[in-house]
Amino acid sequence: MELQTLSIADRLASPDAEVRRLAVIDLPYSDEDDIVPLLLPRLQDSDATVRTEAVRALEGYEDAEVVEALAPMLLDPDAEVRTAVGLVLSELKESASAAPLIPFLSGHSAEVRMLALRAVRALRVDAAFAPAMDALKDADAGVRREAVGVLGYLRRAEAIGALAEIAARDPDHEVRRIAIGAIGYSSEVSVLPALTRALSDVSWMVRDEAAQTLGKLRLGLAIPELMRAMQDDYWQVRVKAARSLGLLKATAALPSLMEALAHPIGNLRKEAAIALGEIADPRAIPALEKALDDADPDVRKLSRLALTAISLAQK
């Protein structure tokens, strides 16, 4: 086929936009060793579909010139190009790549701010801190979500207050949920009020996240609140609370966990059996022995494992 006998460089320069686009798609799998210099000019292609493919093909090539060329394309007139740019920028890994992105963290459209915030998150650069703190007040919930994400990754002590505030008051439940997860970098006791308050959030997803984060942080002081969460209307929240109580080796939670061993939801009985094994207190033996007759084989198995863990711990 004559078109395939053309060199990739010739195809990239074809007057036919479709041929140029195909050449860009083929380039990463061609014999060309160094594809970046061939792709950069195509970012300026007059055809948006060619630009989109060129952006996608540059994913994972984190040279300074690539990032500098891609960042301004967050303002490309074509929506598909902008989406591709956002995705590729969100794959960046090196903190050195952040500089060209900083100007897009504020101003511009909500979409641009959101994509730029998402792109700097994993780079964990100090320069993103102030813009992210500002963006917590953004009118757009999507922007606030990404801002919270940036602060969670940055893990700076001075953001805890602001994140706690967002977790308590943001009108968007997904923003609140992410904020609760984001607090999970600080095991300071000061985060405790925010997390325990979140255990009573109106959204069960927020409560679920809070129950999980308390376990991740091993915040023993939260054991009473987690025990209350074992009465949550949503069994999903109870499962997370049981998981955290197990991780915390919360002997005080024995009664509520043993009670959960008889709950109608199998997943909760399973989690309770695991937690009782982790706590390894012999007082749980009768309840676990009863669970050996559970209708759910998984519960029976995990109860047997928990009983073994208890007997090993007593040695």
Looking at the chain, which runs of residues are DSSP E strands?
A: none
User: Per-residue x/- mask for another protein, residues 180 to 199, rule CB under 8 A?
Assistant: xxx-xx--------------
Selected range binding another protein among 10-18, 38-46, 77-85, 250-258, rule: CB under 8 A: 10-18
Asked if 241 and 200 count as a contact pair (C-beta separation under 8 A), the reply is no
Q: Residue 137: exposed, middle, or buried by beta-carbon count in 10 A (0-12, 13-18, 19+)?
A: exposed
Nearest to 309 by CA among 281, 270, 287, 286: 281
Provide, rounded to whole angstroms, the least separation between the CB of residue 113 and another protein: 19
Site for another protein in 218-247 (CB under 8 A): 243
CA 273, CA 271: separation in Å to the nearest integer? 5
21 lies in the site for another protein, by CB under 8 A:
yes
Provide, rounded to whole angstroms, the least separation between the CB of residue 74 and another protein: 20
> Which residues, in sequence order, are CB contacts of 185 under 8 Å at separation 6+?
152, 155
Provide, rounded to whole angstroms, the least separation between the CB of residue 107 and another protein: 26
141 lies in the site for another protein, by CB under 8 A:
no
Which of 86, 100, 131, 152 binds another protein (CB under 8 A)? It is 152
Q: Residue 296: exposed, middle, or buried by beta-carbon count in 10 A (0-12, 13-18, 19+)?
A: middle
266 lies in the site for another protein, by CB under 8 A:
yes
Selected range binding another protein among 108-116, 134-142, 144-152, 254-262, rule: CB under 8 A: 144-152
CA 114, CA 86: separation in Å to the nearest integer? 9
Site for another protein in 102-121 (CB under 8 A): 121
215 lies in the site for another protein, by CB under 8 A:
no
Q: What is the DSSP string of 249-303?
A: T-GGGHHHHHHHTT-S-HHHHHHHHHHHHHHT-GGGHHHHHHHTT-SSHHHHHHH
Residues that bind another protein (CB under 8 A): 1, 3-4, 6, 11, 16, 18-19, 21-23, 25-26, 28-29, 33, 35, 53, 59-61, 91, 93, 121-122, 124, 148-149, 152-153, 155, 178-182, 184-185, 216, 243, 266-267, 274, 295-298, 300-302, 304-305, 308, 311-312
